[in-house]
Structure 1
């Protein structure tokens, strides 16, 4: 692998976050209804879960090994992941049950934005120093959307 590719994990993180933000905005817009809404919601929640699970088992493990001083930051990010997962569970239950999910989506959007900004600000430089792994292995999703 080239050093150029390996030094871009931080850019890949930002690209994944950008895509997840756009997906959440589309979900919030209310353009999808019925089965389309349920499908869109479940797809978004699945992608967000894959990203956070990938980070927890990939990037955060690698960062903790290479940059032990990031341990408090990683612990905060993992705590955010658990909180976001709880909100996602409520959203999925509301969508599947036909309930009003708009407030939960707004809450998720606010927390997710704060989390993404904090994460990008605190670990991008260290991510760019990692010399092993793949974007999907470290961050749970590819940098580019799947075709």
Structure 2
């Protein structure tokens, strides 16, 4: 199970024994200090790995004083599809704003003359990268339900999953550059940053062009 770390916002993946209960899963926490349990109390979205396939799930606390959650797997109908489309645009807008803030750190004087720029960019990168990783992990889980409802989207979803992996590697390269020691060259940093930013914008544009029309159409998904 992957949750969002309640303290850092980073993805947290934990091996949790879940019991199947129809289309839902039951997860019991051994104690109130279980990290994944605390995470879900703050942010109830989770991604479950079931037989190697990611599934988006929403956690609802168990009743009767039991410590745990009922995990409802995402199912996509016409109304849910439209809601996913709207939320997708909200997330993309938030991520685009974060990119713009990071780009603003690079504008102005050369990096050599601004010793604080590395710290500023690193701060933006930590916030942005954590948000993007969570966004993509949750999307991977949602894609499973979307593909079931809209089989015709399978080729686009396959490409988007592959792009998630490419973006993840690019973020690691950028983070490594910012975390490294020694002089930080403006040109090298700008090149790496623009590679990430341009790749993301292409990814967002492809996703919006290929998923939104299907998710927003009034018709009923395939049975």
- Pairwise same-fold verdict (TM > 0.5): yes
Q: Which of 60, 71, 75 is the matching residue for 2:158?
A: 75
Q: Please say if 1:11 is aligned against 2:103.
A: no
Cα pair 2:102 2:125 within 8 Å, conserved? yes
Would you tell me which structure has more helix in proportion to its own residues?
A: 1
Q: Please say if 1:26 is aligned against 2:101.
A: yes
Q: Please say if 1:85 is aligned against 2:198.
A: no
Q: Distance in 2 between matches of 1:35 and 1:113?
A: 24
Q: Distance in 2 between matches of 1:88 and 1:53?
A: 14
Single out whichever of 18-27 and 97-106 deviates more from structure 2.
97-106
Quote the offset at 1:70 in angstroms: 1.0
Q: What is the root-mean-square deviation in Å for CA atoms of aligned residues? A: 2.2
Q: Distance in 1 between matches of 2:175 and 2:212?
A: 30
Q: Distance in 2 between matches of 1:78 and 1:34?
A: 31
**CA shift digits 1:37-62 (9 cap, x unpaired):** 2121111011111111110112x111
Which residue of 1 is the match for residue 209 of structure 2? 121
Q: Distance in 1 between matches of 2:208 and 2:98?
A: 18
Q: Which has the larger radius of gyration?
A: 2
TM-score (norm. length: structure 1): 0.76
Cα pair 1:20 1:48 within 8 Å, conserved? yes
Q: Distance in 1 between matches of 2:95 and 2:152?
A: 28
TM-score (norm. length: structure 2): 0.52
Which residue of 1 is the match for residue 127 of structure 2? 43
Would you tell me which structure has more strand in proportion to its own residues?
A: 2
Structure 2 regions of 5+ residues with no counterpart?
Answer: 1-76, 107-115, 218-223
Q: Distance in 1 between matches of 2:194 and 2:121?
A: 16
- Which structure 1 residue ranges, 4+ long, deviate > 6 Å from structure 2? none
